[in-house]
C-alpha cells in the first residue's frame, strides 16, 4: 500500500536523486540524450523558498520513497487572479505501479494543491509515455500541445549570424 503526502524538499533530498535518475533513464534520456541528466536540488530549494514548489511523495509501507509528483506554482500570467500549478515531474518506481497508484498520487496532489489555493493544474507527459487516459480520468481536458527545440551553442551561433 502506498501513502501520498506533501513533503518538504529536505525530507526527500537524500532519496530523490536515485528516483530522479531512474525517471531520467526510463523516460527522458531517449528524448534528450543520456549525458544531459542533472537534478538541480538547489533550484528546487529556491522554488520552495519562494513558496512555488509543491512536492507530493509516494511512500511504501516501510517509508521508502517510491515516487513523486512535483509542481511549480505561480500566478497564471494570462489569467489574472488564477494560480497555476504546472506538473514538473511525475514518476513511480516500477514496483509501485500497481492498480491505480498513479491516479491516487495525482488525486492526493490535487487535494494538496487546492489547499494551497491553486485554481488550475497543467499536466504534461512525453510523447514516448503519454498519460492522456490518466489525465482524462482526473477530469482534465486537452488544451494544447507542447513542443521543445534545443537551442544549444551551434543553433545559437547560426541564429545569431
The position carrying cell 482534465 is 140
Of 24-28, 42-46, 75-79, give the lowest mean pLDDT range. Answer: 24-28
pLDDT: which is higher, 27 or 76: 76
Domain with 7 in it: 3-160
pLDDT: which is higher, 156 or 87: 87
Strand order, beta sheet including 3-6: 3-6, 53-59, 65-75, 83-92, 120-122
pLDDT band at 149 (very low <50, low <70, confident <90, very high): confident
Domain count of the chain? 1
Alpha-carbon distance of 73 to 64, in angstroms, equals 26
| pLDDT for the residue numbered 52 | 98
Backbone phi and psi for residue 21, each to the nearest 5 degrees, phi listed first: -65, -45
pLDDT band at 154 (very low <50, low <70, confident <90, very high): low
Average pLDDT over residues 98-119: 97
- Per-residue CA distances from 29 to 44, 81, 129, 150 (Å): 21, 37, 12, 14
- What global pTM score does this model have? 0.88
Closest by Cα among 3, 5, 106 to 61: 3
Share of the chain above pLDDT 70, in %: 89
Q: Report the CATH number at residue 24.
A: 3.40.630.30
pLDDT band at 28 (very low <50, low <70, confident <90, very high): confident
Closest by Cα among 133, 134, 106, 101 to 121: 106
| pLDDT for the residue numbered 145 | 86
Whether 138 has a pLDDT exceeding 70, the answer reads yes
pLDDT band at 20 (very low <50, low <70, confident <90, very high): confident
Amino acid at each position: 500500500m502506498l501513502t501520498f503526502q506533501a513533503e518538504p524538499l529536505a525530507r526527500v533530498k537524500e532519496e530523490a536523486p536515485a528516483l530522479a535518475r531512474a525517471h531520467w533513464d526510463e523516460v527522458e534520456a531517449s528524448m534528450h540524450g543520456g549525458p544531459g541528466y542533472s537534478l538541480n536540488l538547489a533550484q528546487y530549494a529556491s522554488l520552495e523558498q519562494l513558496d512555488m514548489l509543491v512536492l507530493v511523495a509516494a511512500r511504501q509501507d516501510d517509508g521508502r520513497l517510491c515516487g513523486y509528483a512535483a509542481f511549480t506554482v505561480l500566478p497564471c500570467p494570462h489569467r489574472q487572479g488564477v494560480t497555476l500549478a504546472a506538473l514538473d515531474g511525475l514518476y513511480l518506481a516500477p514496483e509501485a505501479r500497481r492498480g491505480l497508484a498513479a491516479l491516487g498520487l495525482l488525486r492526493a496532489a490535487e487535494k494538496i494543491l487546492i489547499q494551497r489555493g491553486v485554481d488550475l493544474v497543467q499536466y504534461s507527459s512525453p510523447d514516448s509515455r503519454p498519460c492522456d487516459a490518466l489525465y482524462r480520468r482526473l477530469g482534465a481536458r486537452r488544451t494544447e500541445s507542447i513542443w521543445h527545440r534545443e537551442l544549444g551553442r551551434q543553433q545559437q551561433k547560426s541564429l545569431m549570424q
